[in-house]
Structure 1
Amino acid sequence: MQDKLEAIKERFEEVSQQIIQPEIVSDSTKYSKLSKEYKDLGKIVEQYAIYQKLQKDIAGTKDMIVNEKDEELRQMAKEELDELLPKMEEMDLIIKELLIPKDPNDSRNIILEVRGGTGGDEAAIFAGDIFRMYQRFFEKMGWRSSIMDFTEGTNGGYKEIICKVEGDDVYGKMKFESGVHRVQRVPQTESQGRIHTSAASVAVLPEAEEVDVQINMNDVRIDTFMSSGAGGQSVNTTYSAVRLTHIPSGLVVSCQDERSQLKNKDKALGVLRSRLYEIKLKEHNDAVSSQRKSMVGSGDRSDKIRTYNYPQSRITDHRIGYTVYNLPAVMEGDIGEFIERLRIAENAERMQEGETI
């Protein structure tokens, strides 16, 4: 591990010199790439400096315990060592976690898709609740979100809603939300007061760029239709909404949030590109690990990742067996603890498998 850290430190110093060269500064692509590498390496180098100081302090304290003649000073050194060793264990874990290769998609923006699954009208209402929960979380994170397409439920909520989310490390945090979310509560549509179970499925797709997926426009059928959402006087008067059908894959994407047909087409292409990229990612992940499941799942209650129990104010994440009893706060976007625990669990698995830079 020490050799790896030294190599990273050398590379950091090399990048810090390259990034100030005029030919690099004038090339936005190279500068952006090196800036990101400088930032990522800097985090490791910063922790490595703390790690080295702890190593030095521990070595000096141990030397004092062995060679110091004054018993009082030796006792003080033993007490100091008792404080330093746990810090070293903690720092050791931090360093090992930093050395886990970062998912190259973590820094990407995302396309978020929420769909009502099992449960009819109540599933659509719950899909709306889940989407609102995410909107609150995005606000807390300082991310920007824009709705691209939606189909409203008969009694509220959404049968389907798709939005784009932009910000720092959006996919890195949101990727754990993919799967089926199950709710247990008395539906608004239930007159007998009985608890029902329904579900909504969530897909988090890393936003793909043109270099990731090449789309042959000859393979895409383009249809236009009238918008049904908020858009001022142009709504239901112009054919600004766009539907793309990718013939080879059968994927269908719609976008209607812009007044401009051209802008809607560009946004729909972005969603189509991300869905095709997700298919490529899934094929790759399946080849690497047979344990990796489809992001969206079936929308059925048998394929659940999290349960929201309203009568008990309980939320349970079934992947890590983590339960909290603060459902109102969670539905207001307080999902950071779930995301952090899932990230830690994933990193623990990767460390166990021996994945390092």
Structure 2
Amino acid sequence: MIEALAAVAPGRPLRAGLDRILQASKGALIVVGDGPEVLDICSGGFLLDAEFSPQRLYELAKMDGAIILAPDASRIARANVHLVPNPNLATTETGTRHRTAERVARAVAVPVIAVSEDLAVITVYRGGHKRALDPVARVLGRANQALQTLERYRNRLDAVTSSLSALEVEDLVTTKDAVTVLQRAEMVSRIADEVEGYIVELGTDGRLVHLQLEELMGGVDDDRRHVIRDYVVDGDPGAAEGALRALASLSTERLLDLGAVAGILHLPAGGDVDASLVPRGYRLLAKVPRLQEAAIDTLTARFGNLQKLMRATVEDLEAVDGIDGTTARIVKDGLARLTESSILDSYS
């Protein structure tokens, strides 16, 4: 459905043609795909194989039959076609054009677009899903509202993340501290997914929304991944990726449950949310400028936890295979600065 909505977003030629049909108070039934499975349910009409243009789509919509487009909507394959999908396929629609559109979308894996002549509404069908396209102003309003919510949640995430950094430096992290950061990060990510859906619908009108979303989401995904690698009981990257997928699959109600999120990391759950944890150091090392991910993996594997890394001297770091003198000094200086800033932030 996301791909189908992108094809009819403002700024795309197909959307321009659909808007022309709406402005003329006409109706249309359009199938975006001309593969064998589509042709099997086509009857009559005539072959065009003409280059697509909004003007041609509008003119062809004056006829009663359906219009068949190429999968990328670059060409008009057929016009005035009678579609004959399986009449036994379930449909919730009442109008003839929309019943046909829903049945075709269920029968073949292509987007089907119905333009209602009476209601002046464009409806996109794909599989068992349908979406009525809202006016750009309404979608933009919802997108801006979602961005405001995202900004508030991002501010809260930054606060708990800063707190976690200070606690890690002082070796005072508990299960609740780590899980709270993961909860906030996942909430922010889910709001961002909603905004991305609006951006798809907005097409070229969503450029500014896209820029704001990128700014607000900077570093969130990496931070979430590093927190999981710091605290998941099995430090293997595969276990961390599995925990990320499990976190994303939680319902909203389960996400708000500290025990459910702690269980994903195999951490003490239930009433033991104050159990002490020791980070491996992935997240703070990732904040050190110019430090490669391979070096981070090497150092965390060698020292095991953040406290040992912080106590290590430059000579200790240099003794690790793959870590040269320059990298060792970068790590030592970077951790020192992070330690100082984290402590200052915690008391500010």
Taking structure 1 as the reference length, what is the TM-score of the superposition?
0.20
**Greater RCO (CA < 8 Å, at least 6 residues apart):** 1
Larger radius of gyration: 2
More strand by share: 1
Taking structure 2 as the reference length, what is the TM-score of the superposition?
0.20
More helix by share: 2
